[in-house]
Structure 1
Amino acid sequence: MNLHFSSSYTSENLSTELGITFVDKPFEISYQYAETIANQIALANGQPKIERVYFIGDNPDVAIIGANMYNHLLPQEINLRTSISCYNLLTDSKYLSATSCESILVCTGVYEPNKQKLDCKNPWKLPTTIKLDVFEAVKYIILKESWPWIVNC
């Protein structure tokens, strides 16, 4: 897990106040940040804001849980959203537009379907779909978004 620290100094040398902000999977703020960047890129290229986000990961215990937590957050009123992980969320909703999030588990890293089973008792760890690799995951997204001409090139 990456920990990003932000610090504010109340006095130059006498006392230090250290605030900790977690900015990595599976915290929802990481997924909000990714959506924010995707929307900034879309708008800069004359495209509309996104309605659905897809997160691809190889670890059901981290990336898939995080994406599913984010999907749980999206139906909430944007200014009233509450983090399941109890950490802060982004407060500027200007670039947050998604209404759904899909979690795509790939078999190219931590998760190996021949060696481990998914924990069906924990719905947070269950992906929307499982694909062999990132290429197959991207093809899935393209077809789901009705852009078949891109796949057929």
Structure 2
Amino acid sequence: MKFAGFFCVIALMVLFYARNNAIDMTQFQTDTKKVEIKGEVRSPGVYEVDWNATVADVLKEAGGSLENADISSINLSRNIENEAVIVVDKKQEEKKISINSATVEELDELPGIGPSIAQRIVEYRNHHSFQTLEDLKEVKGIGDKLFQKIKDRIML
């Protein structure tokens, strides 16, 4: 009888101890995680990467970004969470400015064009309309170097 009582006390202690101990979850943690990347990348999809992978690592797994990708706002060094989604957006095309109809203020936004050159462009077009983009070089103060700087941002 004493033996049975002793056995019951031991059994209760084992049950109590086993139920109230924390389980070490590190033994169940994986070494990898799954991350989806989409948008302007060569191979969008879901990738299994190292647990400590960064956005740059996932971008590399996806074959890198496309030419029209805008990665300027993405923190490439950021660690990513399991099941995260990374979206690489397309670059926004710059609005082109019409040299035949833009205001002085709009022309002034072009690199290298200040208010005085912008005013000269408006005065020139009041007498001659621009037939080609290169006609802009007829305006005093706009040479080859400045024209090369702005040619991709202007239109007729």
TM-score range, shorter chain: under 0.3
With normalisation by structure 1, the TM-score equals 0.23
Higher relative helix content: 2
The structure with higher relative contact order (CA 8 Å, sep 6+) is 1
With normalisation by structure 2, the TM-score equals 0.23
Q: Which has the larger radius of gyration?
A: 2
